[in-house]
């Protein structure tokens, strides 16, 4: 397995740290080979005492005011599950694997920063691909942001917004903009290339 970092310039400089396997884009319908590779990666991670979160496809800003977060795809979820289970001396069952592979949606989690404890309550997230807007099937935002313990004095708080998007609704190979609308106004943009994620 090899890893790489892609730098993307947009409204913010964002780095996408992606785990890499045989896939060339987000795999909506993984093959049996894809599934076995993902499960084996999880088992190997457990043997190396690596955290399951290693398999999150992470994005994040280079500064304290930048949005950061991760995507959790089908293959990433399989590796995470396999790692968790291997650390406990178990293996995923056929039903466990099927549950992950049949999941209709991808999870996107983003952490944003603001100046007040309630700045993220009722925030919203969308995906934009060219002229298309993809709306989530679920969105959850921290009602009460957490005070930051590191970095500069401002912004003082950080909160997490988690959304799920149907695989059928977006192009798994397209350049994509994650756009977050904090409840206090404004927009946070994070450009990604889905072609670089599996």
- Provide the pLDDT for residue 4: 28
Predicted confidence (pLDDT) at residue 101 exceeds the cutoff of 70: yes
51-72 confidence digits (pLDDT tens)? 999 999 988 666 667 889 999 9
Give pLDDT, residue 151. 66
pLDDT over threshold 90, residue 26: yes
Mean pLDDT of 105-129: 94
SS3 38: helix
Kind of pairing between the strands at 124-129 and 105-114: unpaired
The span from the CA of 13 to the CA of 109, in Å, is: 18
* Matching residue, tokens 């404890």: 117
The pLDDT assigned to 61 comes to 67
What integer pLDDT is reported at residue 25 of this predicted model? Answer: 74
The overall pTM is greater than 0.95: no
């Amino acid at each position: 397995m090899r890893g790489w970092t892609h730098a993307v310039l947009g409204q913010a400089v964002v780095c996408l740290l992606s785990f890499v396997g045989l896939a060339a884009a987000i795999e909506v319908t993984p093959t049996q080979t894809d599934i076995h590779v993902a499960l084996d990666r999880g088992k190997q991670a457990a043997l190396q005492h690596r955290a399951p979160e290693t398999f999150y496809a992470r994005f994040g800003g280079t500064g304290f005011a930048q949005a950061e977060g991760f995507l959790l795809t089908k293959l990433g979820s399989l590796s995470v599950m396999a790692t968790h289970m291997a650390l406990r001396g178990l293996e995923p069952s056929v039903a466990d694997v099927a549950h992950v592979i049949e999941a209709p949606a991808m999870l996107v989690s983003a952490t944003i920063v603001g100046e007040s404890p309630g700045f993220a309550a009722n925030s919203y997230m969308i995906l934009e691909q060219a002229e298309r807007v993809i709306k989530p099937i679920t969105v959850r935002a921290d009602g009460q942001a957490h005070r930051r313990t590191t970095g500069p004095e401002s912004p003082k708080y950080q909160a997490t917004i988690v959304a799920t998007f149907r695989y059928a609704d977006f192009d798994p190979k397209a350049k994509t903009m994650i756009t977050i609308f904090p409840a206090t106004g404004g927009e946070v943009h994070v450009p990604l290339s889905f072609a670089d994620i599996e």
